[in-house]
Amino acid sequence: MTSTALVTGAARGFGLALTAGLVARGATVIVDGRDAAALAAATADLAGPGRVVTVAGDLTDAAHRGALHSAVRRAGGLDLLVHNAGALGPSPLPRLADLTPQAFDDLWDTNVAAPLALTRLLLPILRTSPGAAIVTLSSDAAVEAYAGWGGYGATKAALDQLAAVLGVEEPAVRVYAFDPGDMRTAMHQRAFPGEDISDRPEPATVVPALLTLLDRRPPSGRHRAADLLETTR
């Protein structure tokens, strides 16, 4: 059972829903988001025996990553790190021929470089926690070719590979790339501007899949929420 977790990008969407699920299980959850007021408001009413510690800031900022490290040390350790925060890139989604170098650099910094930097900072603590796990949020765009999704998908594919290699290099820590599937989130809406995405599932309905994965603690690897939810039925 997770006692202390760090969930990035927890002011809304899947990160907030997962935080609620972990708090309900009694975990201390350290959360971050770029907007301090939005992060505090979103997490203020989460109910459960656990508690929430908010640390607002931008993950691409080394000083903010240091603040998260300090929060983890004050909490007494860490046994779950969830890299949920991510960027979609320009909306509407551009073809690769129209994706500017700056836009791709921004995607890389947020979706790949920052998670790796935070992981490196926290690995010494995670290694000392029996059963510790790292989760990176993946996407089917990491393994499928969709027009317009090249920049985002390339960074998610890179993050998948980092998770795979980390799982080999760090045998004491479980490392999972978790593909939640389509969800009704602000990011997904930005990917389909002007379209009705109300048929997508709410993030809270996907959280049980990740909790199931964490409960089972299989070997490190890539897992799809749809497969995990199917096994719970």
Please give the positions annotated as active site. Answer: 152
Cβ atoms of 68 and 30 closer than 8 Å? yes
Distances (CA, A) of 149 to 83, 116, 141, 163: 20, 22, 7, 21
Please provide the DSSP assignment of 58-97 as one string: -TT-HHHHHHHHHHHHHHT--SEEEE------SSSPPPGG
Please report how many Cα atoms fall inside a 13 Å half-sphere around the Cα of residue 189, on the Cβ side.
10
CA-to-CA distance for 150 and 96, rounded, in angstroms?
6
Q: Which two tokens stand for residue 138?
A: 């993946």
Order of all β-strands in the sheet with 80-83:
51-56, 28-33, 4-7, 80-83, 133-137, 174-179, 221-224
